[in-house]
Structure 1
Amino acid sequence: MSGAKVLGGEKLKAALKKLAAAKGARVRVGILENTKYPDGTDAAMVAGVQEFGNEQTPARSFMRRTVSERVGAWKNGFANQLDANSVEGALDVLGEQMAKDIQSTILKIAGEGGNAPSTIERKRSKQDRPLIDSTLMLNSVKHEVVPGESE
């Protein structure tokens, strides 16, 4: 035997039992459906173009960048929350943190500048702040806990 010890067995069993009972509970985070700009443009569509880019717009990956930078902290935070909360409660705290982290990344990218002069001219704010013009997209980053199946 190597002398290795496994600690927290009861804690792990309790967490696994909670997760099993939740049966598919999850958290959704991002620009959720039905968020529109005043002209009717879908905010999630605009976010997708910003995230992945297109022939006119360079990709400014605020979602993937946030996930890459924060996934470890989210895992640890969720595990800690699961000790004190239901699965849905832990997901709610996780989702709130994820949304704040995504908003923080949007603000970081905005601070880096890099819009084309023609883009700056079209923006209402006339500022070189990528991802931010009206702040609707920034303020629309939300989370939603989707409950698991009930028995």
Structure 2
Amino acid sequence: MTETITSHKADRATAAAPSLGGLGLFTVLLAAALPLIDFFIVNVALPTIGHDLAASEAVLELVVAGYGLAYAVLLVLGGRLGDLFGRRRLFLGGMAAFGLTSLACGLAPSAWTLVAARVAQGAASAAMLPQVLATIQSATDGRRRAKAMGLY
């Protein structure tokens, strides 16, 4: 009888293992691409941003560096918070924060407001991105993991 109960628990644990489907993989990979795309878009738009917001070159450097610094410094913390509070929760929170900070960047009335919004956007990216690799690692295995990592 004890073997049967143990066997059923093992079967449920195996059956309950999360699986990352095609749409889920597409979603997390798209989220992984957003911070990089955003970084390069802003670099291309810097001359226009400088003109429209009357920003000096030093402030424009802060627009780029603030994002990169916040992202780099908080990346490990984002991974650890995902371990503590759940990858899904932090991923969705990071995505929402990234969207809101993107809106704040687009509506920034001054260069310094843009710098602050970009720092916050870097922090949101740092919360979101580690969850992508952790999700792929925990929800795939074998050839499917290799394919997902290759796509990443």
Q: TM-score range by the shorter chain?
A: 0.3 to 0.5
**Structure ranking higher in strand proportion:** 1
TM-score (ref. length: structure 1)? 0.33
TM-score (ref. length: structure 2)? 0.32
**Structure ranking higher in helix proportion:** 2
